[in-house]
Amino acid sequence: MANPFKEALRRLGASNAELESRERQRVAEEAGAQRADALCDRERATLRGTITMLTIKPRAGMPWLEAELSDGTGSVTLIWMGRREIPGVEAGRELIVTGRASCVDGGKRIYNPHYELVAH
């Protein structure tokens, strides 16, 4: 069991980014989601996190909607091929995603993941 005094001191010295990261980790863990920093190549995964960045990148003339999903332990790039937008998928939105992880060039990606929007 954690010492409440030590935990209070740790929170006082933490930056807003660190506090947000810890909160994302806590929420994902309570939901039973896997950790982004622990994903392995070709592993089927369910993650819960917040979209920190959203971009449209054309590839071979076809749009790709890319979203960075952070769960507080790391981030994963979600890629929907052939999409310019998805209603409700926007920066700052919390999602639960499921798909097969791909680890390429040091980055982690999930192509065309199944997703659920988490109510605010």
| The pLDDT value given to residue 18 | 74
Q: What is the CATH number of the domain that holds 41?
A: 2.40.50.140
Domain assignment of residue 110, given as a range: 4-117
Q: Can you tell me the distance from the alpha carbon of 59 to that of 84, in angstroms, rounded to the nearest whole number?
A: 12
Structural domains counted in the chain = 1
The per-residue pLDDT string of the chain (120 residues; one tens digit each, 9 = 90 and over) reads 567 766 665 666 667 777 777 777 777 778 778 899 999 999 999 999 999 999 988 878 888 999 999 998 999 999 999 999 999 999 999 999 999 999 988 899 999 999 999 986
Residue 54 CB: number of other CB atoms within 10 A? 17
Q: Can you tell me the distance from the alpha carbon of 20 to that of 36, in angstroms, rounded to the nearest whole number?
A: 16
Whole-model pTM: value is 0.79
| The pLDDT value given to residue 1 | 54
